[in-house]
A and B are shown apart, each in its own frame.
Chain A
Amino acid sequence: EVQLVESGGGLVQPGGSLRLSCAASGFSFSTYNMNWVRQAPGKGLEWVSYISSSSSTIHYADSVRGRFTISRDSAKNSLYLQMNSLRAEDTAVYFCARGASPSFYFDYWGRGTLVTVSS
């Protein structure tokens, strides 16, 4: 069974940093592209970042480029999102999502972890 479990969320002050993790199991993690998607309270879904299976291709949404860094560790079956210079508008539930192979829609999602940016 495919499982994605996010962790690392919490309360952080504006300008602070946080590192999210997503533990993957039930599939060959090293062969799948992965993504982060966020959802602000009461709002819709916003794609945040993409990393290819080999980490050779990375993309970011304009809203986070230069502040967030996506990475992965296939030895640990884990996906990461390093978030720096956090703003109030980054407050959201952050989901990790698997990219369907060989296509690019998202076939499995984790349950999310809440990040709150507030003083």
Chain B
Amino acid sequence: DIQMTQSPSTLSASVGDRVTITCRASQSISIWLAWYQQKPGKAPKLLIYKASSLESGVPSRFSGSGSGTEFTLTISSLQPDDFATYYCQQYNSYWTFGQGTKVEIK
């Protein structure tokens, strides 16, 4: 099974900050990685697929990069609506999620 490890688990930041979340796979997953945003009591929302492709309608301040085993999600200028929990997901071999990164207000 492929394990996904996100860091940090919690991130404190201010509006306007540049934020980076890292996701590492236990083996190579090529570019088969997605990022989701989830707010309390809501369904996850797709942000990025194929490691760096922005889903339609998602603000351009979100970007993804990486391949193989190391990936990053970057928010270029954090907005009030971005305080949420973020999950990476590999879909190279079945599906596995990272444990999540909570972005909270500093």
Contact = CB atoms under 8 A, between A and B. Distances in A.
B94 A44 contact: no
A95 interface: yes
Given A35-B95, A106-B34, A45 B44 contact: yes
B97 interface: yes
A12 B44 CA distance: 26
B67 to A, nearest CB: 16
Nearest to B44: A109
Range for the number of chain B residues in contact with chain A: 20 to 34
Contact of B87 (A45, A50, A62, A95): A45
Given A44-B87, A45-B87, A106 B46 contact: yes
Nearest to B85: A44
17 contacts: A44-B87, A44-B99, A45-B89, A45-B97, A46-B97, A47-B94, A50-B95, A59-B94, A62-B1, A95-B44, A100-B49, A105-B49, A105-B50, A105-B89, A107-B55, A109-B45, A111-B42
Interface in A31-65: 35, 44-47, 50, 59, 61-62
A9 interface: no
Contacts of B46: 105-108
A111 B95 CA distance: 20
Interface residues of A, number: 21
A103 interface: yes
Nearest to A35: B95
6 cross-chain pairs, A with B, having the tightest CB-CB distances, nearest first = A109-B43, A47-B95, A105-B34, A104-B91, A45-B97, A44-B100
